[in-house]
Amino acid sequence: MCRLMRLLVVVCVCSRAQAWTELLGTVAPVSTVLERDLGKQWQTEAAAAWQQGRSRHWLQRQKEVLHQWLERPEGMNLPTTTVHNVFRVDPGLRLTQEIRDQRGVLWYPAGTRVNPLTYLQYRKVLCFINADEAAQWEWLQRRCAQPLVDRWILVQGAYMQASNQHQHRLYFDQYGRLAQRFALRSVPARVYQVGSSWQVEEEPVNAEP
C-alpha cells in the first residue's frame, strides 16, 4: 500500500508542476507556506482507511480524483473576446520590509518600488485560450504559431485530452492565477513584455496577424 501511495503522490506533484513552471523573475521576501502538506494529509487519510479496513476503496477513490483533476484542472471561466482590447499591466510592487543579502548588506529598503521587468527581458508571448472552444484553438494556431516563442496556456478545459491532440507544449493556468495577474477579462488573449510593462491584447477569434 505504501508504494502505491508514494506513486500516487509523485504523479500528482509532477503533474501539477508541469502545468506552469517558467520563472518570470522574483524580487521579494519569501513568505511562510500555510497550505497543508499534501503528502502528510494523504498519509493521515491512508492510515485511517487502513485501520478501518477500507484502504483499497480509499486508494481507488484517490486514483479517480487524481484522474479527474489531471483531465480537467480547476481554471477560470472567462468570456470569449468580442472586441479587440489592448492595455498595459504594471508588474511593479512596493516592498513592505527591507531586503538584505546573506552578509547583511542592504539591497532594498522598505518602501522601495521594484519592477522585475526593469532587470530582465522576457521574450516569450503568453497565449491564453479556453480549450473548450474550437474557435479559440483555431485562433491559437493562427496567432501563436511559433513554438520557440509562444506559450500556449489554457484557462479552462480538458488539459490531458488537449495535450494528446496537439504537438505544441501546453500549460494550464490553475485557479486563474495568471489570468488575474494580467487582469484578463476575456480570452483569447496575448501577453508580452513592452519596456517595463506587460502588454495585454484581448483579441476576437477572427483576428488576423
Q: Per residue in 28-48, pLDDT tens?
A: 444 454 455 656 766 777 777
Residue 208 has pLDDT above 90, yes or no: no
Q: Count CA atoms within 13 Å of residue 116 on its CB side.
A: 12
User: For residues 65-80, b (16+ Cβ closer than 10 Å) or e, as one string?
Assistant: eeeebbebbebbebeb
Q: Which residues contact 201 (CB under 8 A, 6 or more apart)?
A: 84, 85, 86, 189, 190, 191
Provide the 3-class DSSP secondary structure of residue 191.
Answer: strand
Provide the 3-class DSSP secondary structure of residue 101.
Answer: coil
Whole-number pLDDT of residue 1: 43
Residue 69 has pLDDT above 70, yes or no: no
Question: Position 67: which residue type?
Answer: H
pTM, two decimal places: 0.68
Question: Measured between alpha carbons, how far is 202 from 209 in angstroms, rounded to an integer?
Answer: 13
Whole-number pLDDT of residue 63: 65
Q: Yes or no: is domain 85-202 CATH 3.40.30?
A: yes
Q: What is the DSSP letter of 153?
A: E
Which cell goes with 193?
513584455
Residue 164, judged by CB atoms within 10 A of its CB (0-12, 13-18, 19+), counts as exposed
At 140-194, the pLDDT tens digits run 999 999 989 999 999 999 988 888 888 889 999 999 999 999 999 999 999 999 9
Which cell goes with 5?
501511495
Domain spans in the chain, listed from the N-terminal domain onward: 2-22+37-71, 85-202
Tell me the backbone φ, ψ of residue 143, rounded to 5 degrees: -95, -20
Strand ranges (E), 40-149: 85-89, 93-94, 99-100, 106-108, 113-114, 125-130
